[in-house]
């Protein structure tokens, strides 16, 4: 692991650089696949599924029989765990509902705001070596609570043309309307344009690798919204001598095993703690089934010593981590002063994996520094705010003159006329 002591502020941007490829290297690939799928639809989707996933499929829609078979393959123990997680996620996201906001801004001028669900949403669920059925919960549960009419799920097939049974079980449990065996760039392009098999959606959600991240960003050029540009997972922990080095090491490794391009960072005010954590990481990593993946990510990790909490919080806000764990006797200081983080975990007994699965918060979060300007997925992510207004005769009389003056000052005479005509009609008793 890379140990860094008292880094100068002017070096922070270099030290905190993510181990991700330059998106410009990926954009041409994404653009070419998008254009082909826009023109050729399902035929192009099949081509790239064969190329990237190594399987040729005649039908990419998951059938009811496949879902029922998948349900029978999931153990009762796992079903119970998923149901518990679903219950907590439902509680937390249901609590995010807000009532209609209504106010009379001026006598006779009624304004209000209401939220309506996005009608068609697409959920992207990574598969591969770590099929993230937990992400189905994080996306489908709030989509259902919001009232989205059509919930489409895309996930890459394995070499046998199947989707992990736990993903299928969770999808049907959460009320997903259509499940498709398609992943990567071709899934995002399919949901962007629509094909004979893949419905076109209004907004796409879900994490993925760098290709999926760029594909989602590219989709916005075609009128499709996205939750955020979420890429490889990352974690930053701030800890001092009051923390448990073994716990901290386990949290670092829990993110490192996501993928070789994940990044984990420890920031501490204790030099001895750095050595203790490094020792525990070396010990714990040996028994991990995904040891090779974790080792690759650990090479991109940083153990950073700083002299005080002020420097630590400044560095953390500069990084803007996806996940931020606080294990410090000064936890209130960090809670009060953190500005840029996707999700925060406080105390020695709050592992980041709790948020990944069952505490109730959402694990679909901004990465790569986007925590500085994006929120994680929440109930409002699946809704739109719409404003309404109704103005009476008295109301237009109260604000009409101001509108006329402002419109004329901007040189927009038709805007002024729309008010003037109404005011004259009222004056003339018409």
**Residues recognised as catalytic:** 322-323
State both tokens at 151: 């919930």
Helices 271-285 & 245-256 angle (0-180, nearest 10): 50
State both tokens at 299: 């090479």
Write out the binding residues for substrate: 233, 255, 258, 323, 356, 410, 415
Three-state DSSP string of 314-353: HHHHHHCCCEEEEECCCHHHHHHHCCCCCEEEECCCCCHH
Write out the binding residues for NAD(+): 124, 186, 209
- Please state the separation of Cα 170 from the chain's center in Å: 19
Angle at 289 between CA 287 and CA 290, to 5 degrees: 115
Write out the binding residues: 124, 186, 209, 233, 255, 258, 323, 356, 410, 415
């Amino acid at each position: 692991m890379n140990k860094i002591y008292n880094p100068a502020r002017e070096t922070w941007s270099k030290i905190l650089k993510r181990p991700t490829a330059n998106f410009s290297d990926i954009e041409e690939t994404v653009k070419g696949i998008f254009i082909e799928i826009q023109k050729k639809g399902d035929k192009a989707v099949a081509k790239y599924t064969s190329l990237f996933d190594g399987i040729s499929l005649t039908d990419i829609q998951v059938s009811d029989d496949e879902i029922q078979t998948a349900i029978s393959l999931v153990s009762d123990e796992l079903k119970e765990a998923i149901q518990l997680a679903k219950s907590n996620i439902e509680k937390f996201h249901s609590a995010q509902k807000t009532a209609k906001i209504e106010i009379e801004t001026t006598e006779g001028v009624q304004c209000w705001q209401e939220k309506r669900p996005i009608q068609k949403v697409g959920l992207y669920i990574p598969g591969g070596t770590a099929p993230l059925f937990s992400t189905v919960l994080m996306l489908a549960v709030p989509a259902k609570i919001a009232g989205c009419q059509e919930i489409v799920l895309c996930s890459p097939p394995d070499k046998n043309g199947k989707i992990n049974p736990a993903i299928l079980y969770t999808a049907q449990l959460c009320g997903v309307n259509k499940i498709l065996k398609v992943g990567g760039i071709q899934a995002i392009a399919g949901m962007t344009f629509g094909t004979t098999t893949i419905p076109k959606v209004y907004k796409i959600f879900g994490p993925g690798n760098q290709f999926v991240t760029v594909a989602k960003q590219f989709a916005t050029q075609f009128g499709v919204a996205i939750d955020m540009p979420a890429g490889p997972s990352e974690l930053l922990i701030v800890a001092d001598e009051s923390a448990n080095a073994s716990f901290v090491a386990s949290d670092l490794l829990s993110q490192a095993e996501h993928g070789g391009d994940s990044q984990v960072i420890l920031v501490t005010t204790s030099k001895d703690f750095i050595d203790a954590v490094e020792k525990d990481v070396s010990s714990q990593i040996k028994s991990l089934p995904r040891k090779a993946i974790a080792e690759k990510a650990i090479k991109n990790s940083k153990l950073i010593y700083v002299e005080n909490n002020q420097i630590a919080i400044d560095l953390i806000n500069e990084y803007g981590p996806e996940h931020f764990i606080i294990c410090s006797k000064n936890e209130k200081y960090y809670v009060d002063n953190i500005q840029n983080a996707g999700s925060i975990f406080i105390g020695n007994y709050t592992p980041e994996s709790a948020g990944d699965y069952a505490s109730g918060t959402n694990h679909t979060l901004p990465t790569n520094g986007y925590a500085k300007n994006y929120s994680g997925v929440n109930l409002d992510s699946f809704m739109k705010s719409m404003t309404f207004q109704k103005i009476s005769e008295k109301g237009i009389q109260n604000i009409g003159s101001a509108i006329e003056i402002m419109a004329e000052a901007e040189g927009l005479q038709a805007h002024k006329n729309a008010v003037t005509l109404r005011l004259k009609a009222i004056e003339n008793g018409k």
